[in-house]
Amino acid sequence: MQSYEIIDCHIHPFLSLEENLEWFSKNETPVGFVEKLKKAGISKACGTVVRSLVTSDFSQIQELNAQAVAFRNKFPDFYIPGIHIHPRYPEESCKELEMLHKEENVRWIGELVSYMMDLGEYAVESAFPIYDLAQNLGMPINIHPGELGEIEKICENFPRLQVVMAHPTSVQGTIRERAVLTAKYPELYLDISGGGIQRWGMLRFLIDTAGREKILFGTDFPIGNPAAFIQGALFENLTEDEFSAVFSGNFKRLTGL
């Protein structure tokens, strides 16, 4: 079987136990975290450092972003930092976004996780200056969706913003709804992390519905098992071009890697 470059667009790295999202053992180290991904077959990986927050000021967001940059500096040939913004702090978020884009060459926002990061809704008007800036900088934004209407509102208001919707889920109706929505907007994409890859034919369906250029590979590690996602994808009836696009080509095109 042909080997592929595989870029995981959806992981959650950590430098301290507080940000380790493993559900069970909590015994992994940052070095072990990276080694596990490489052992599974991941070539590079991207995503945010996350912990459950009740935000009282923007410094907590800055701290998580600083950890992402530090993780990149520790594993420069493997990790691509994803950063946080926060709708409650639009001015601070824009300054942070501009600084990290210019000084640290950061090219990816998210995953944004509303229920963990005290975000509230994504499509509030206070977030619009942040989305406008991201759109102008050409930075994709990976969003854990709540109501799909929020995703639509963002896409309608920012047609050039590359929005990557996280998780197809494992429910037939929801997978179909997200595939159709992804097909509707030219700059809306879907990453396959979370539930769904265990559903035979899901990846084939997503590509047939939304197009091979709209689907990105992700695992949600350390919550999801990266080897299961890779083997689940490889077992689908895809062409070589489709495998290459999903595993790495689409991410590289969006980020300019």
Whether 103 is covered by a domain: the verdict is yes
Helix (H) or strand (E) holding 143: strand 141-143
Find the radius of gyration of the CA atoms of the chain: 17
Of 158, 170, 162, residue with least CA distance to 195: 170
SS3 per-residue string spanning 24-82: CCCCCCHHHHHHHHHHHCCCEEEECCCCCCCCCCCHHHHHHHHHHHHHHHHCCCCEEEC
Question: How far apart are the C-alpha atoms of 42 and 40, rounded to whole Å?
Answer: 6
The alpha helices in 75-210, defined as continuous H runs, are 90-103, 114-117, 128-137, 148-157, 172-184, 202-210
Q: How many CA atoms lie within 13 A of 181 on its CB side?
A: 24
Whether 8 is covered by a domain: the verdict is no
**217-246 burial string, b = 16+ CB within 10 Å, else e?**
bbbbbbebbbbebbebbbebebeeebbbbb
- Structural domains counted in the chain: 1
Cis peptide before 104 (omega within 30 of 0): no
Write out the residue range of the structural domain in which residue 106 sits: 15-255
Whether 40 is covered by a domain: the verdict is yes
Q: What is the pLDDT of residue 28?
A: 85
Q: What is the pLDDT of residue 2?
A: 66
- Give the CATH number, domain containing residue 218: 3.20.20.140
- Tell me if 94 sits within 8 A of 135, measured CB to CB: no
Residue matched to tokens 């990557």: 164
Q: What is the pLDDT of residue 158?
A: 98
Q: What is the pLDDT of residue 248?
A: 98
Q: What is the pLDDT of residue 27?
A: 80
Q: Which two tokens stand for residue 244?
A: 């290459």
Q: pTM of the entire structure?
A: 0.96
Whether 52 is covered by a domain: the verdict is yes
Whether 106 is covered by a domain: the verdict is yes
Average pLDDT per run of 10 along the chain, which is 257 residues long? 89 95 90 97 98 90 98 98 97 98 98 93 97 98 96 98 97 97 98 95 98 98 97 97 98 96
Whether 10 is covered by a domain: the verdict is no
Whether 6 is covered by a domain: the verdict is no
Whether 152 is covered by a domain: the verdict is yes
Report helix, strand or coil for 167.
coil
Of 162, 166, 184, 232, residue with least CA distance to 204: 232
Q: What is the pLDDT of residue 26?
A: 83
